[in-house]
A and B are shown apart, each in its own frame.
Chain A
């Protein structure tokens, strides 16, 4: 879950509740909804920087990025089974601090914690943690690997009071000690990862138990899953012990035409001003200082934006070659946010498509991204979930109480 939903204009929909996302009752309702839908887990993404571009925070983009640990803790308090997965960076934290926080979440929720391990890629995160620039990617992954290793040692030591604690000396961390938390129900939280690059995939293959990824088509999903399973096997682990759950955004209605109309309505709510801010925020360059009808000022952007030049060139060059204006390019960009698969149709069509992906080896499950919240999630739970249950693709009730048991992962206790 990410704020108000998948579509950048979704917060403007008449059924969206952009103010209530600051209230505890909203998260309690959503958590109960997810548990009623027999979801494995609720996942919050996260970022460690303001959402500004060159110091200007977007006006038209809804950005209620409340702290994931806080939201998941509140959601865990009113549920009993659904898993709680928090995104936490290994670059801007200490292993013992993160291990302690997850041990507490696991304890507070009775064994439902999961950790989406990220290394933080946004250059503006660094100056929020006293650094002048982001650590190079290869080093971030090296640090991440040792970080997870230390955290794992710390969790494992909790169950063994005879052990004096851990004594780790590595390239990145010197850690001696143990957690103060007296009990960790799952032994270890479930480790989730979302790396796309070669470094990211290898890291996932060595550490992750569940993987979140974009897969715009079935073929992309199959290719990703095959590749990851190969890497997992090469890393000496059981490929069935790693669940691959690509993103799936959705818009539901009684009829296909109704769903298409609803999507059009949501896209129109993203007006040019919003679309321009949306891209500005993504590339860390304030496009609002240009006229919306200007051609894409690629050289200025590359010179001044906060991301690596080659990434930005690769992204914008097709638009430049098509001779698109800033507004035209940004409109197209906001229609296909983040490269995830988008489903628009009826509950029957969605259940059939999900079943097809599973059967064809495109994935082991899905990370659902409702078009806007909470309405689309309600539609899914009320209308798609029963169809998935009829096809035996989804549990009718939880069998175990922990996230590990929901995902069919080995117990760490």
Chain B
């Protein structure tokens, strides 16, 4: 039985003791039996990115997690695949293959105005772009085969060059050439977690490894889980439960009546107490990597002849809102000022 909960900086505190409080919260949840610690926060029943950047938080807290797996919750619409792929490759190595990630398609006005026009999307594009960010990131992990690193000091051979390749991923929103300048993560891909309430679940063919699902009581939640299974969802399902009366989460005391869940995601002001009541219901999963603990298969690297790109998403790229739309706007602006295109930047991706 898998137990998860969110850990983040307190909203109401400031000053030097913030990290100490976060570490104490994390230790308490781990002690109470959490298997997955999501570095993010709850917005009602939905998991959203936290106040501490999870790509900093995960490696900072890796030692404190003491064997529990960390899951970085990050804003998919405001993240770039190359950066995310590298950061999660490194954290997966540093945590011995126990990283998860939850890309969230959250799109608040505050984020939109903070990131500005380079990152602007329409309502319809939100799931498409978020899903594309995830696929582009996974494509970069696939630019290295699992056995690419040789590291033979005597022979002077560090890697097998035939096992590293450009991917030339072309998606609806992201074009990424690759290869990544980081090896394939120990888990192949860090475990992909999603919240059912997140818009990313509307992305075409989106297939997370772990899904957090909600419902106001045990009966409705059991129905929701059965529906996902009927639709063919093959990953792990965690039922949202809460002792605090959170709409969209099942009351904690009904947890044992939920059918079909692989575990629980706890939403609680006192998460350790809730974890401690649930842990006796089932043993913690064990295994060297998070994938092994969750009995999820390691994704194979596609076998690709060199020089062939395998991520052609066809002719759907007509309205290519490339990430650096701002660059295009700027080059137009400069060209207009100069009355010519003599400026050294070429209008790209038009």
B30 at the interface (CB under 8 A from A): no
Nearest-CB residue, chain B, relative to A27? B94
Q: Mark B171-201, 1 if CB is under 8 A from A, else 0.
A: 0001111111111000000000000000000
Q: Which residues on A sit within 8 Å (CB–CB) of B180?
A: 50
How many Å lie between the Cα of A77 and that of B65 in the bound state?
A: 12
A199 at the interface (CB under 8 A from B): no
How many Å lie between the Cα of A173 and that of B59 in the bound state?
A: 30
> Could you tell me if B324 and A129 are in contact, using CB atoms closer than 8 angstroms?
yes
Q: How many residues of B contact A (CB 8 A)?
A: 83
With beta carbons under 8 angstroms apart, the residue of A51, A62, A130, A269 that contacts B322 is A130
With beta carbons under 8 angstroms apart, the residue of B89, B179, B181, B327 that contacts A131 is B327
A interface, over-half SS: loop
How many Å lie between the Cα of A24 and that of B287 in the bound state?
A: 19
How many Å lie between the Cα of A67 and that of B15 in the bound state?
A: 28
Nearest-CB residue, chain A, relative to B322? A130
How many Å lie between the Cα of A71 and that of B91 in the bound state?
A: 8
Interface centre among B52, B62, B64, B326 (most CB of A within 10 A): B52
A55 at the interface (CB under 8 A from B): yes
> Could you tell me if B18 and A67 are in contact, using CB atoms closer than 8 angstroms?
no
Q: Which residues on B sit within 8 Å (CB–CB) of A131?
A: 322, 324, 327, 348-349
A325 at the interface (CB under 8 A from B): no
> Could you tell me if A175 and B157 are in contact, using CB atoms closer than 8 angstroms?
no
How many Å lie between the Cα of A23 and that of B91 in the bound state?
A: 10
A74-B60 in contact given A50-B180, A175-B116 (Cβ < 8 Å): yes
In chain B, residues 288-341, which have Cβ atoms closer than 8 Å to a Cβ of chain A? Answer: 306-307, 322-324, 326-327, 330, 333
Interchain nearest-CB distance for B269 vs A (Å) = 18
> Could you tell me if B166 and A55 are in contact, using CB atoms closer than 8 angstroms?
yes
> Could you tell me if A55 and B56 are in contact, using CB atoms closer than 8 angstroms?
no
In chain A, residues 87-108, which have Cβ atoms closer than 8 Å to a Cβ of chain B? Answer: 92-94, 96-97, 100-101, 103-105, 107-108
Stretch among B107-115, B221-229, B259-267 lining the A interface? B107-115
Q: Which residues on A sit within 8 Å (CB–CB) of B96?
A: 24
> Could you tell me if B177 and A183 are in contact, using CB atoms closer than 8 angstroms?
no
Q: Which residues on B sit within 8 Å (CB–CB) of A66?
A: 86, 89-90, 93-94, 182
How many Å lie between the Cα of A237 and that of B83 in the bound state?
A: 34
Nearest-CB residue, chain A, relative to B165? A55
How many Å lie between the Cα of A11 and that of B176 in the bound state?
A: 30
> Could you tell me if B78 and A173 are in contact, using CB atoms closer than 8 angstroms?
no
Interchain nearest-CB distance for B311 vs A (Å) = 13
> Could you tell me if B344 and A104 are in contact, using CB atoms closer than 8 angstroms?
no
Q: Mark B46-66, 1 if CB is under 8 A from A, else 0.
A: 000001110111111111100
> Could you tell me if B156 and A130 are in contact, using CB atoms closer than 8 angstroms?
no
Size category, A interface: 35 or more
Q: Which residues on B sit within 8 Å (CB–CB) of A269?
A: 156
B345 at the interface (CB under 8 A from A): yes
Nearest-CB residue, chain B, relative to A131? B348
Q: Mark A5-32, 1 if CB is under 8 A from B, else 0.
A: 0000101111010110011100110000
Residues of chain B whose beta carbon lies under 8 Å from any beta carbon of chain A? 9, 11, 13-16, 18-19, 51-53, 55-64, 78-80, 82-83, 86-87, 89-91, 93-96, 110-111, 113-119, 143, 150-151, 153-154, 156-161, 164-166, 174-183, 306-307, 322-324, 326-327, 330, 333, 343-346, 348-349
Name 9 interchain pairs, CB-CB below 8 A, sorted by A: A101-B55, A105-B56, A107-B52, A131-B327, A135-B344, A136-B344, A175-B113, A182-B14, A269-B156
- 13 extra A-B contacts, CB within 8 A, seeds A92-B83, A108-B52, A135-B344: A48-B82, A56-B161, A57-B161, A70-B59, A73-B58, A93-B83, A96-B114, A108-B19, A108-B56, A129-B324, A133-B346, A172-B330, A182-B13
Residues of chain A whose beta carbon lies under 8 Å from any beta carbon of chain B? 9, 11-14, 16, 18-19, 22-24, 27-28, 47-52, 55-67, 69-71, 73-74, 76-78, 92-94, 96-97, 100-101, 103-105, 107-110, 124, 127-133, 135-136, 138-139, 171-178, 180-183, 185, 269, 271, 273-274
